[in-house]
Amino acid sequence: MEVFFQTLVAGVLKGGLYALIGLGMTLIMGVMGIINLAHGQFMMVAMYITYTLFHFFGLDPYTTLIISMPSLFLLGLVIQKFLLNPLMKVESILPENQVLMTVGIAMVLTEVARFIFTSNYLSVRTSYSSSAFYVGGISFSVPLSIAFILACLLTLGLFLFLIKTDLGRSIRAVSQDSGAAELMGIDSAKIKVITMGIGAGLVASAGTLLLPIYYLFPDIGGPFTTKAFIITILGGLGSTVGAIFGGLILGLAESFGATYIGMDFEDLVGLIIFLLVLLFLPGGIRRLTKV
């Protein structure tokens, strides 16, 4: 029974981080109508930023959030404005070509990282990296708990932004009907640029929060792009609330898979759930929650 609860806790903590990854992806999906296949690579870039700041400047990995998030926000802005938005203006180009463009961006980011940092595995070791505290016999990893709390705060912040501010409302308006949004005076091209920035910033925070408990190499982006995609499908494309549940489900699935089936099957369990959702609940969790 203790193993079960231990697994549950580990799954939920990890799920909180996955939710951050999924939220960025789903916002981009909703507003742009495309899947961002460079999402994991954005995260990889943020992880290298955190690594560099930790390694060369001695900054605490969590404080690097204030640098990694704005940096990726800017990177997202630039990519949307100069690489993706121009593709929309040419009518003969299918929207699918924007997706292809994100694949290209992903490759470039990965190879640039390999060029600068080589393919070696890197990690960030802090004094608290392997420490844990115990509540009722169940251990809570300190870095994972800090990451979870920060992830919850960021998610809360995002929802307040989306619900309470005019810019947040405009983002939701564009994702529901961009033509009507233009009539309201919303510049949808600008909203797309901002949304890509926010999506990249969110996944950057996940990368930074994950680094103290993970390792880093240039190809780490690919698996996380897949994870982000799975979370978005689980939650229902474009649904923000769904992305949170999707993240938690994937975190739990991986955690239980690793404990009860075997460490090697961690990713497999996530993919099996992904297939089951596609077969039996094609709309994702959105079908159940309606938001």
Partner 1 sequence: MLKVQGLNVSYGDLQVLWDVSFEVQEGEIVVLLGANGAGKSTALKTISSLVRPTAGSVEFLGARLDQVPSYGVINYGLAHVPEGRRLFSEMTVEENLILGSLTREAKAKRKKTLEWLYEIFPRLKERVKQPAGTLSGGEQQMVAIARGLMSLPKLVMFDEPSLGLAPIMVTEIFKIVEMVNREGMTVLLVEQNVHHTLAMCDRAYVLENGRITLSGTGQEFLNNDHIKEAYLGI
User: Residues in the site for partner 1, rule: CB under 8 A?
Assistant: 166, 169-170, 172-173, 176-177, 179-188, 291
Q: CB-wise, 118 or 176, nearer to partner 1?
A: 176
- Taking residue 77's Cβ as centre, other Cβ atoms within 10 Å add up to 18
Q: CB-wise, 186 or 196, nearer to partner 1?
A: 186
Residue whose entry in the numeric block shows the structure tokens 């460079």 = 38
* Pairwise CA distance, residues 22 & 83, whole Å: 22
Q: Decide if 110 contacts 39 (C-beta within 8 A).
A: no
Q: Counting beta carbons within 10 angstroms of the beta carbon of residue 184, is it exposed (0 to 12), middle (13 to 18) or buried (19 or more)? A: exposed
Closest approach, Cβ 218 to partner 1, in A, equals: 39
DSSP annotation string for 92-124: TS-THHHHHHHHHHHHHHHHHHHHHH-S--B--
Q: CB-wise, 235 or 270, nearer to partner 1?
A: 235
Closest approach, Cβ 289 to partner 1, in A, equals: 12
Q: CB-wise, 70 or 86, nearer to partner 1?
A: 86
Closest approach, Cβ 286 to partner 1, in A, equals: 10
Reduce the DSSP state of residue 138 to 3 states and report it.
strand
Q: CB-wise, 125 or 287, nearer to partner 1?
A: 287
Closest approach, Cβ 237 to partner 1, in A, equals: 13
